[in-house]
A and B are shown apart, each in its own frame.
Chain A
Amino acid sequence: MELTVNGEIRQVDVDPDTPLLWVIREELGLTGTKYGCGIAMCGACTVMVDGIATRSCQTPADAVAGAQITTIEAVEQDEVGRRVVEAWVANNAPQCGYCQSGQVMAAVALLKENPQPTDQDIADAMTNLCRCGTYNAVAAAVRDASNA
């Protein structure tokens, strides 16, 4: 099967229903995308599929063949992505950091679609779980990135 990940075309030999998460992590060796729950509850596995934040643990690989898949590893190759990362750093947003790849990707997807989100927009889009309770810092970082 052929997948386009971070702008590169990659051949992978997997069962078509293999979750995108495990293709990314195990076949492509990109471990920045995390496994948290596997049931699309936590958002740790968030990537962008054609610019839309997508929980890769519940996305079969064959459903995204032909789409542009972007993982956290490529986040800084993009203007909005760089701004989000800088805002994350400036706000010291991460604690353990495990959820943060997914949080960052969700924020990038939000800001690409909606550069000036309201607090409500942020609340609606940023639904990833964080067991360390970084929610307020994450929201502040999204606001910073949108105002920058």
Chain B
Amino acid sequence: MTLFDRKAPFRAVAAELPADGAPLNVSRRVFLGGAGALTLAVALPLRRARGQAADAPPPPAVPAFLELREDGTALLRSPFVEGGQGIFTAMAQIVGEELDLAPDRFEVVNAPAGEDYLVMNGMRLTGGSMSVRFGYDAMRRLGASARAMVLAAAAQELGVDASELTTEPGRVVHAASGRSLGYGELAQAAAAQPVPAQVTLKDPASFRWIRQPVDRIDVRDKSTGRAQYAIDLAVEDMLLAAVVHAPRRGLAPGEIANRAEIEGMRGVHSVQLLPGAVAVLADRWWRARKAVEALEIAWVEGTSETPMPADFSSAGWKAQMLALDGEIADAEVEGDAPGTLAAAETVIEATYDAPFLAHGQLEPPSAIARFNEDGTLEVWTSNQAPEMFQGVAAGLAGLEPGQVSIHSPILGGFFGRHFVYGDANVMPEAIALARAAGRPVKVLWTREEEFLRDALRPLGVATLRAALDAQGLPVALEAVARGEGPTGRWFGAPPGKDDSAVEGLAGKVYAIPNRRVGQRYAKNPAMLGYWRSVGHSMHDFFYEGFLDELAEAGGRDPFELRRTLLAEQPRHLALLEAVGELSGGWKRGPFEAEDGSRRARGVAMASPFGSEVATIAEVSIESGEVRVHDVWVAIDPGEIVNPAIIEAQVQSAVALGLSQALFEEVVYEDGAPQARNYDLYRILSRYEMPRVHTRIVRSGAPMGGIGEPGLPGVPPAVVNAVAALTGQRIRSLPLSNHDLSAQSG
């Protein structure tokens, strides 16, 4: 999801190379779900498009995005999918600002797949914390164009020149004659106006809604059960499908001992074999589920393109990564780190790791597929990238993309879950079953099937080495990540050019003159996916934990060390000072809190997705478990749209970051994940939720992301606090794997 972030190099490569270096076999890639690679490779004229920024962008397709209604409200089709991050509200604010219509007058829905919506330089997806920063200009132009159309319509209606007209929210005003017209009255006539070739955007100084804590527009529906997710949708005459997947990827269904008996169960339509899975179709999902789980299936070796070795275990994979040798592909090099390290007197070395993670979004995956009489296909499914799903669906159904409609409901959480990801995605099953049954089919995965087939945050291992000078300051740092990143897997980024494999080790801003960040590649047998903040979710933990180790070795306070290393970076220094101040002044501890518990604090910084973040966490140990009381976050996204949503996203990112730091780990044994529900895959509950204090710093730098940046600083801030409290340096997550019971205070 750093795809369109700071660095361009791999994009060109992705456009030329298939993901695996083999000749590009279109149909195979499509079937694998590698269509993401394909679609992107085709749809990514990014560098060039941006290089041409001097040319005026083409006028927006106003009618595709926006309908003014006669009641004075507007329907907006958002190019970015709402999944909790508040993007619908942000879109309404941005479009409403230029259109001069209050955000609460908007109904916002997810746009269908289609060329009109490719607002990110010719493509789009919802991820990488990109929506607002990459959609901002396009959405402002959209609103401004629509306003110009409303003014043109009013000019005709009133028989005056458009230049004599002004607007106030939802109304066109002709001050000279004292007449005015509501947008609703002008809706039809405005729609008939041509889209202007050029528009002038508002002066930000006159913004009415952008930069304000505007209320979210979707909270009432979401507080009363009216909001509809993929799981809630139905189409006429559909069958419901429940599925069991092979316990290990690569197995296929063989003999089914009791098939006839199951097909005779109440409500059951049929038993269907799928690649690596068996489905039961029925008139009710619950009946389908009971039936499918009663099947006696012999699983046999199959022909999966992505088989899991029968002896695969996460512990074994970690051991393999720790022992991994071989070539290092450089991702970021400055000065001569290897040479400085070789000559240095004081060298510190440490190896860090973080486990596979599941997304655990609360809505389990589902999809409806319907073949229409005219041969077209319609799909309703949770997704972050409609055109990618359209491409995959078309490939599976043997249709042209234009013959496939993708309906995108709001998402019951996503965090990176809803990309295509081969057989980790439910849609291909719905398409196959709809074809087989000759009727529309809705497939819903149980929570257990979701844990079995989720695409994982990769297990990460990195070795860091640093040389300290006589003052205890680092003069060289080398960080080598081992393994594979999701961008390598899905978008063909080769080692050294795959941000997702190194971000958080690379892209740090500390003044260490000699630096080298590299990747030792090894193909991961597990199904990999993007997980909120991607590589940053673990690499900043590695780096910032290690930086505290350097502080300790150099006899320096960790906060002071960071301050020293940021002396030449005013933006970051200000942010560090801001979080220190927000927390009442830096104090590491240990100290005694008011309730008598012994506590300590840790600090960490991160530079994810175009934003800058500084984080402090305060911890104690309670019955052997780490307890996090407060988290302070100073975040600088450069410029902002909605401070209230930013705060909510920081809360959310802190919760997920803390959840993974404390508990989360997907354990594989014998090629299969051991936890199949939240009972064994523990996630953060209300009890563990800390107070979160946020300060938004607007440095005026280019707008950065919001959905993910709050996360990466949390694990290292917590782990650094634990080290301050206990003296125990934890280099492997989650914390629940470590015995801290001796430390209870």
Q: Which residues in A have some Cβ–Cβ distance to B below 8 Å?
A: 15, 18-19, 22, 26-27, 30-39, 41-42, 44, 71-73, 75-76, 85, 88-89, 92-101, 104, 123, 126-139
Provide the main secondary structure of the chain A interface: loop
Residues on A with C-beta less than 8 A from B225 are: 30-33, 71-73, 75, 101, 104
A94 touching B678, Cβ below 8 Å: no
Say whether B232 contacts A31, CB under 8 Å.
yes
Known contacts A31-B232, A135-B689, A136-B692; decide if A94 and B223 are in contact (CB<8 Å): yes
Contact of B413 among A30, A104, A131, A137 (CB under 8 A): A131
B323 on the interface (CB 8 Å rule)? no
B684 near A133 (CB under 8 angstroms)? Answer: yes
Contact assessment for B84 and A92 in the assembled complex, using a CB-CB cutoff below 8 Å: no
Let me know if B686 and A89 touch, CB within 8 A. no
- In the bound assembly, the distance between CA atoms of A133 and B655 in angstroms comes to 5
Instruction: Please give me the 3 A-B residue pairs with the lowest Cβ-Cβ distance, nearest first.
Output: A32-B225, A133-B655, A97-B222
A129 touches B286 (CB 8 A): no
Q: How far is the CA of A130 from the CA of B678 in the complex (A)?
A: 12
Query: What residues on A are CB-neighbors of B410 within 8 Å?
Result: 96-97
For A91, give the chain B residue with the smallest CB separation: B219
Partner of B652, one of A89, A95, A97: A95
Instruction: Please state if B223 and A19 are interface contacts (CB–CB under 8 Å).
Output: no
Identify the stretch in B15-23, B162-170, B356-364, B492-500 within 8 Å (CB) of chain A at 4 or more residues. B356-364
Contact: A99 with B362, CB < 8 Å? yes
**Chain A residue at minimal CB-CB distance from B85:** A95
B366 (CB) vs chain A CBs: closest residue: A35
**Residue from A18, A35, A76, A101 within 8 A of B364 (CB atoms):** A35
How far, in angstroms, from A132 to B363 measured CA to CA in the complex?
11
Q: Which residues of B contact A76 (CB under 8 A)?
A: 224
- Verify A133–B652 contact, CB threshold 8 A: yes
* Contact pattern, B 209-230, Cβ under 8 Å of A = 1, otherwise 0: 0000001101111111111110
Which residues of the other chain, A, contact B228 by a CB distance below 8 angstroms? Answer: 31
Whether the Cβ atoms of A26 and B83 lie closer than 8 Å is no
- Minimal Cβ-Cβ distance residue in A for B226: A32
- Cα A76 to Cα B225 in complex, Å, equals 11
Residues of A within 8 A of B412 (CB): 34, 96-98
Q: How many residues of B contact A (CB 8 A)?
A: 60
Docked Cα-Cα span, A99 to B227, in Å, equals 11
Query: Do the beta carbons of A97 and B84 come within 8 Å of each other?
Result: yes
**Residues of B with C-beta under 8 A to A104:** 223-225
CA A83 – CA B515 in complex, angstroms?
57
Confirm or deny: B605 has a beta carbon within 8 angstroms of a beta carbon on chain A.
no
**B543 located at the interface, meaning its Cβ lies under 8 Å from any Cβ of chain A in the complex:** no
In the complex, chain A residues whose CB is within 8 Å of the CB of B362: 34, 36, 42, 44, 96, 98-99, 129-132
Chain A residues near B221 (CB-CB < 8 A): 97
Enumerate chain B residues within 8 angstroms of A100, measured Cβ to Cβ: 222-223
Q: Are A127 and B284 in contact (CB under 8 A)?
A: no
With A and B bound together, what is the CA distance between A95 and B362 in angstroms? 12
Closest chain B residue to A138 by CB distance?
B686
Known: A39-B677, A42-B678, A96-B84. A135 touches B686 (CB 8 A): yes
Smallest CB gap from B286: residue in A: A22
* Cβ contact within 8 Å between A15 and B266: yes
Which of B232, B414, B679: most chain A CB closer than 10 A? B232
Kindly state whether residue B656 has any CB partner on chain A within 8 Å.
yes
CB contact between B219 and one of A44, A75, A92 (< 8 Å): that residue: A92
- Interface pair B227/A97, CB less than 8 Å apart: yes
Are B685's CB and A94's CB within 8 A? no
Across the interface, which residues of B come within 8 angstroms of A44, CB to CB? Answer: 362
From B678, which residue of chain A is reached at the shortest CB distance? Answer: A41
A-B contact pairs, 9 of them (CB 8 A): A32-B225, A41-B679, A92-B216, A95-B652, A96-B84, A96-B362, A100-B223, A101-B224, A130-B686
CA distance A96 to B223 in the complex (A): 11
**A136, B691: Cβ atoms closer than 8 Å:** yes
Residues of A within 8 A of B447 (CB): 36-39
Chain A residue nearest in CB terms to B225: A32
Give CA–CA (A27, B86) in the complex, Å: 32
- Give CA–CA (A44, B297) in the complex, Å: 31
> Interface digits, B270-295 against A, CB 8 Å rule (1 contact, 0 not)?
00000000000000111000000000
Q: Tell which of A71, A95, A138 touches B86, judged by Cβ atoms closer than 8 Å.
A: A95
CB distance from A65 to the nearest CB of B (A): 17
| Residues B655 and A85 in contact, CB atoms below 8 Å apart | no
Are A95 and B220 touching (Cβ within 8 A)? no
Flag if B83 contacts A96 (CB, 8 Å). Answer: yes
**Does B651 belong to the interface (CB within 8 Å)?**
yes
The chain B residue with its CB closest to the CB of A37 is: B447
Using an 8 Å CB-CB cutoff, how does the interface string of B560-592 with A read, 1 for contact, 0 for none? 000000000000000000000000000000000
Q: Tell me the bound Cα distance from A76 to B223 in angstroms.
A: 10
Select from chain A the residue with minimum beta-carbon distance to B359: A131
Residues of B within 8 A of A131 (CB): 360-362, 413, 415, 656, 683
Query: Could you say which residues of chain B place their CB within 8 Å of the CB of A41?
Result: 677-679
Given contacts A94-B223, A100-B223, A133-B653, 8 further A-B contacts (CB under 8 A): A22-B285, A34-B363, A38-B447, A71-B225, A88-B223, A97-B227, A99-B362, A130-B362
Q: Does B231 contact A (CB under 8 A)?
A: yes
CA distance A39 to B360 in the complex (A): 15
> Are the CB atoms of B648 and A92 closer together than 8 Å?
yes
Q: Which of B69-98 contact A (CB under 8 A)?
A: 83-86
Query: A22, A32, A37: which contacts B678 (Cβ < 8 A)?
Result: A37
| A residues in contact with B659, CB < 8 Å | 133
**Contact between B685 and A127 (Cβ–Cβ < 8 Å)?**
yes
Residues of B within 8 A of A95 (CB): 84-86, 648, 652
Identify which of residues 197-251 in chain B touch chain A, using a CB-to-CB cut-off of 8 Å.
215-216, 218-229, 231-232, 240
